[in-house]
Structures are given as structure tokens and as C-alpha cells.
């Protein structure tokens, strides 16, 4: 069985299910998986336990680029397929693959819309890929049009979610960490602090009284959390957590927050591409999202509520709390039917098998 590779310049690959779970799944199927990625001093080192997974460091400098291309060119036997992401990784992987004739799979993580020279190059290289992995139906349709993919280009829909089922384990992680009263409702924002609604939410929640929810921010990087001080009803978790422990911590919250910027196309199409939303639902938490069309299903399926501003969050949280068990049941049902990675990834695994056996 030939090996497969992932070339991803992001250093946080185990923080996102769209990278972490395909790597783990293909390794579990018996493939050797070489993961080319950046290591930094401020990102935690990825944690994978399979002996079939090997890390190969890359560097996004001129010399690092030359090293990567040389490694891909000299690889023998060639990989069955190389998974990659736009734009830097896709470009240099494509350079090598045109010579070795190694198939390339495009993971559509972030959607880039600015019309630049790099975007034009991405379009050409994307059209030469064997297939695409998109994180939602809406994003698949959008990226097919944006990158002018031919009608017969295969796109597989794999939401940014972990293997199910949706389970909430017994946990008091944040209550014990911050001394939050066990009966108090806990809202959780997990992930990067860079989203535009986050700063306003932190300011507003600092003035919430003890009769309102507690708000916990679980950051991805210690560096972005170190300067933030817990006050009022807001707590900032300083420790970055691996995926398994993050599930345990998430289970100690009651409602997850998925807030996005309605000015960005990538955010307006977020939906089930949202890693934080899928994390919450994997741990059976109802959700509060920004009032975007891509989250219309959250209210339709009664998995949570949408808000137009951070000022509406306390009332939305109380509304969910009043019918909490019903929301949790709906979250579990929706996750099992639409998000569970074990149901969505088999078509991708089958595509890899076909390329490996050709």
C-alpha cells in the first residue's frame, strides 16, 4: 500500500478536525501518512499516537520551499495522493506533482476571494487536482464557482467535525479551574480570539452580574491569552488543550458560542465548517451563533439560537436554558445525522483507495 501525504503550512493541524481526523483515519486504514507542517515556538506540538503518522518539518522561506519541493520530487515510491491547502502549500505541492504525476487533493479550509496573482494561480492549480474536500454544501457550491472548477470535478463534503456520537461527559473542568458556582450557566467561546465580535463580547460580559451566565474563553494559543485578565463574569483559560482534553473541558460548559464577521465571505459561508460549532455539538452543547444565513439550520433544527449582536446573548442563553434538555436532544440527533466524521469521510477514503490502486 503506498503512503499518502499532507502538506499544510499551518502549525495547528491537530486543533482542527478537518486536518486532524483525515490524518488519523487514513493511518487507521493502514496508510503511512507523512505530514509536512510548520513547527513554531508558540504553537503546541501536534499529538498523534499512531505509528503510521510521521511529521516532516517545513519552513515557508526560500530555502524551506526548495527543500520541500526536493523532498516531494525525490519521494519513491510516490505518494498515492497529497492533501494540501491553498495557497502556498497548494502551489509548491503542484509544482512537484506535475513532474512526479502524483495526484493532489485540495482541502478547502479558508476561502480566499481577493483577486490577486496568487488567486489566479490557485484557480489553475485547483482545476488540476484529483478532487476537493469541502466543509459544507454551501462552501462546495461557492468554491466550484469561485475557482471555476469543471462540472465533473469531484467535491466531497466533510464537515469540520470529529467522529461521533455526540456525548457530554461528566466534567466540572471550568468550574474547578475558575471557581464558578456549579449551578451557574457557563457559555464557552473556544478557539482564536481574532474574530471581530469577540472583543465586544468580552467587554460586555465583564459587566454581567452573578444572575447572568459566566463566559469562558478557551484560546488556541497561550500567547494570545497571556495579556487578557479575567474580570467580572469573564474568564480566560491560559492553557492550550489537546483535542481529547478539550472535549472534556467543553463538556463542563452548557452553551457554545460561534460568532463570526458578516463582512467576510469566508465567515458568511461558515455553517458546519465552523470548528468551534462542531466541537460544541460533538460534546452535546446547544449553540448560539451570529445571525447569518449559513446558520439558519441551527434554529430550524432547534439546536440553538442566532443573535444579531452580543447584547442579545444573555436572553438567548436564558431561552435555551428554559428548554435545555430538548435542545441537547436535537444537537445529538443532528450531529449523528449530518456531522459525524465516521459517516462523512468514507467517500474520501474510497477516492484515496482508487488512486492508490490505479
Consecutive 10-residue averages of pLDDT for the chain (358 residues): 92 87 97 93 80 94 93 94 95 96 94 85 95 95 94 96 93 94 94 71 82 88 65 84 87 95 81 93 97 95 95 94 97 97 97 91
Residues 218 and 97 both lie in one domain = no
Say what the pLDDT of residue 47 is. 81
Residues 335 and 351 both lie in one domain = no
| Residues 98, 296: Cα–Cα separation, whole Å | 42
**Three-state DSSP state, 192:** coil
Residues 209 and 250 both lie in one domain = yes
Whether 120 and 141 have beta carbons less than 8 Å apart is answered as: no
Domain span holding position 276: 173-339
Say what the pLDDT of residue 226 is. 61
Residues 145 and 74 both lie in one domain = yes
* Beta pairing partners, 257: 288
Q: In this structure, is residue 165 part of a structural domain?
A: no
pTM for the structure as a whole: 0.91
C-alpha cell at 140: 462546495
| Residues 335, 316: Cα–Cα separation, whole Å | 21
Residues 122 and 221 both lie in one domain = no
Say what the pLDDT of residue 222 is. 63
Cα torsion through 138, 143, 146, 152, rounded to 10: -110
Report helix, strand and coil shares of the chain as percent, to nearest 5.
Answer: 45, 15, 40
Say what the pLDDT of residue 221 is. 66
Residues 14 and 149 both lie in one domain = yes
Q: Give the number of other CB atoms < 10 A from CB of residue 70.
A: 11
Cα torsion through 58, 59, 65, 68, rounded to 10: -10
Say what the pLDDT of residue 247 is. 93
Q: In this structure, is residue 166 part of a structural domain?
A: no
C-alpha cell at 157: 463534503
Say what the pLDDT of residue 134 is. 96
Residues 139 and 231 both lie in one domain = no
Amino acid at each position: 500500500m503506498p503512503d499518502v501525504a499532507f502538506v499544510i503550512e499551518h502549525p495547528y493541524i491537530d486543533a482542527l478536525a478537518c486536518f486532524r481526523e483525515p490524518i488519523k483515519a487514513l493511518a487507521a486504514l493502514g496508510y503511512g501518512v507523512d505530514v509536512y507542517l510548520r513547527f513554531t515556538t508558540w504553537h503546541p506540538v501536534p499529538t498523534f499516537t499512531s505509528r503510521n503518522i510521521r511529521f516532516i518539518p517545513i519552513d515557508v522561506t526560500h530555502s524551506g520551499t526548495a527543500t520541500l519541493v526536493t523532498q516531494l520530487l525525490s519521494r519513491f515510491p510516490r505518494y498515492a495522493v497529497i492533501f494540501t491547502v491553498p495557497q502556498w502549500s497548494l502551489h509548491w505541492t503542484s509544482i512537484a506533482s506535475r513532474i512526479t504525476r502524483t495526484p493532489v487533493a485540495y482541502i478547502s479550509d479558508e476561502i480566499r476571494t481577493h483577486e490577486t496573482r496568487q488567486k489566479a494561480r490557485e484557480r489553475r492549480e485547483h482545476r488540476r487536482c484529483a478532487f476537493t474536500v469541502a466543509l459544507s454544501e454551501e462552501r462546495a457550491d461557492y468554491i466550484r464557482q469561485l475557482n471555476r472548477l469543471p462540472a465533473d470535478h469531484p467535491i466531497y463534503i466533510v464537515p469540520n467535525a470529529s467522529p461521533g456520537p455526540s456525548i457530554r461527559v461528566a466534567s466540572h473542568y471550568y468550574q474547578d479551574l475558575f471557581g464558578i458556582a456549579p449551578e451557574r450557566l457557563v457559555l464557552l467561546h473556544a478557539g482564536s480570539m481574532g474574530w471581530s465580535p469577540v472583543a465586544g463580547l468580552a467587554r460586555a460580559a465583564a459587566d454581567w452580574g452573578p444572575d447572568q451566565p459566566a463566559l469562558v474563553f478557551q484560546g488556541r494559543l497561550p500567547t494570545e491569552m497571556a495579556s487578557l485578565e479575567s474580570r467580572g463574569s469573564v474568564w480566560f483559560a491560559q492553557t492550550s488543550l489537546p483535542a481529547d482534553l478539550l472535549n472534556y473541558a467543553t463538556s463542563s460548559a452548557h452553551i457554545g458560542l460561534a460568532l463570526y464577521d458578516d463582512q467576510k465571505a469566508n465567515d458568511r459561508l461558515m455553517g458546519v465548517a465552523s470548528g468551534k460549532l462542531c466541537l460544541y455539538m460533538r460534546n452535546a452543547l446547544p449553540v448560539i451563533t451570529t445571525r447569518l444565513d449559513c446558520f439558519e439550520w441551527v434554529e430550524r433544527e432547534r439546536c440553538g439560537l442566532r443573535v444579531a449582536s452580543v447584547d442579545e446573548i444573555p436572553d438567548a442563553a436564558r431561552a435555551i436554558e428554559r428548554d435545555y434538555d430538548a435542545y441537547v436532544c436535537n444537537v445529538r440527533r443532528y450531529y449523528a445525522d449530518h456531522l459525524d466524521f465516521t459517516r462523512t469521510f468514507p467517500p474520501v477514503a474510497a477516492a484515496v483507495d482508487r488512486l492508490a490502486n490505479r
